[in-house]
């Protein structure tokens, strides 16, 4: 069984609802076991070229027999089902699914890089990830997620719903 962490984001439509629907779809999937759900966070968009609504973000932990490429396709399918367009790069979106970590493996294929290359400088990823997996080690940096989070500014990431209650699964 493989241990995976996935980042979810949305800043169009009803972001919390779309994230919640995505988590429930992951929870129902026969080849995925949902193991952790972070709180829900809100933050100003970073690395975007124009003004956009705030992002809502969360991270969930999974156990799965699926390969990284199968997960990529599953994520793209969920993005599409949410009504997310095959968006322009860095455009606002109804659902963004980013595969962050897959065991301590390093995957470097076209369209699929794990660990996610930007995760170590993104507070909206490291804050929720550190909440559910503080001691998980980043395979390229050799540091724990908690240590990576402690090395960046995180004050812009606001916790807006504590624990997993926001996504209405039976997982606490």
Instruction: Compute the least distance from the CB of residue 11 to ligand PH2, in Å.
Output: 7
Contacting residues for 156 by C-beta, under 8 A, at least 6 apart: 43, 44, 123
Range in contact with ligand PH2 (rule: CB under 6 A) among 21-29, 46-54, 63-71, 138-146: 46-54
Please identify which residue in 29, 35, 36, 45 interacts with ligand PH2, judged by CB under 6 A. 45
Residue 96 touching ligand PH2 (CB under 6 A): yes
Residue 120 CA to residue 125 CA, distance in Å, equals 8
Instruction: Compute the least distance from the CB of residue 165 to ligand PH2, in Å.
Output: 21
Residue 131 touching ligand PH2 (CB under 6 A): no
Torsion of CA 123, 94, 49, 8, to 10 degrees: 20
Residue 5 touching ligand PH2 (CB under 6 A): no
Closest CA to 47 of 99, 122, 145, 157: 122
Range in contact with ligand PH2 (rule: CB under 6 A) among 20-28, 40-48, 75-83, 146-154: 40-48
Please identify which residue in 20, 38, 39, 57 interacts with ligand PH2, judged by CB under 6 A. 57
CA atoms within 13 A on the CB side of 69: 3
Helix, strand, coil shares of the chain, percent, nearest 5, are: 30, 30, 45
77-116: contacts with Mg ion (CB under 5 A): 96, 98
The residue (of 96 and 131) whose beta carbon lies closer to Mg ion is: 96
For the chain, how far is it from start to end, CA to CA, in angstroms?
A: 22
């Amino acid at each position: 069984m493989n241990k995976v962490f996935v980042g979810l984001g949305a800043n169009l439509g009803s972001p919390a609802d779309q994230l919640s629907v995505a988590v429930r779809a992951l929870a129902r999937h026969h080849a995925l076991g949902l193991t952790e759900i972070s709180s829900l966070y809100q933050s100003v968009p970073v690395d975007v070229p124009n003004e956009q609504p705030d992002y809502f973000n969360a991270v969930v932990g999974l156990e799965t027999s699926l390969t990284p490429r199968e997960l990529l396709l599953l994520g793209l399918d969920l993005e599409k089902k949410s009504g997310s367009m095959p968006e322009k790069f860095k455009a606002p979106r109804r659902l963004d699914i980013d595969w962050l970590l897959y065991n301590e493996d390093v995957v470097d294929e076209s369209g699929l890089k794990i660990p996610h290359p930007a995760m170590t400088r993104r507070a909206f990823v490291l804050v929720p990830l550190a909440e559910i997996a503080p001691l998980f080690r980043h395979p390229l940096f050799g540091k724990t997620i908690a240590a990576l989070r402690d090395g960046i500014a995180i004050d812009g990431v606001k916790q807006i719903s504590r624990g997993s209650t926001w996504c209405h699964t039976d997982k606490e």
